[in-house]
Amino acid sequence: MMSVFDVIFFALSALTLLSAFVVAGSRNIVYSGFALIFAFLGVAGLYVQLSADFLAAMQVLVYVGGITVVILFAVMLTRDIASTAGTNPILNRPASLLAAAGVLVMSLVLILDSDWPLRPEVAYAPTSGELGRELLGKYLLPFEVASLLLLGALIGAVIIARREVRENEEARS
């Protein structure tokens, strides 16, 4: 009989995989963006099950809260995204499917043929406090330099985007 832990694991795995298939297979980029949120949340749930609370929190903050929102903003700020033709059409779909099937078969052979040692249960030990003390203690300067670098990149991206919008508006007039 499956435990509650196993049921939650399979539910999170199904959520992650189904969302990833929607991301890759949807023709509507907005649907792909929202499915990406659910894929990242599923991965965060798997991190929680592995007792990696800090990784789960960073997954939600960085990927769901940052990357996906930036992607969706880019989609929303792009004009006439539905009318543009694909820039990378699949030229040889049968060869692509054959290659994907080959990778799947090799992965399954490796997974099923390997001896997977069972680890004993490890007591849960929160990692967030220790990592927080390290980041804001010993590694404070590199942490702040990285945050300033990201802020500079964000400001630069906004300036470049505004300049391109102004140039496009001037060209249309």
For 79-116, write each residue's pLDDT tens digit: 666 555 555 555 677 888 899 899 999 999 999 998 88
Q: Report the alpha-carbon distance of residue 37 to residue 95 in Å, rounded.
A: 30
pLDDT per residue as tens digits for the range 48-75: 998 888 889 989 998 888 888 888 777 7
DSSP three-state, residue 136: coil
pTM above 0.75, yes or no: no
In this structure, how many other beta carbons lie within 10 angstroms of the beta carbon of residue 109? 10
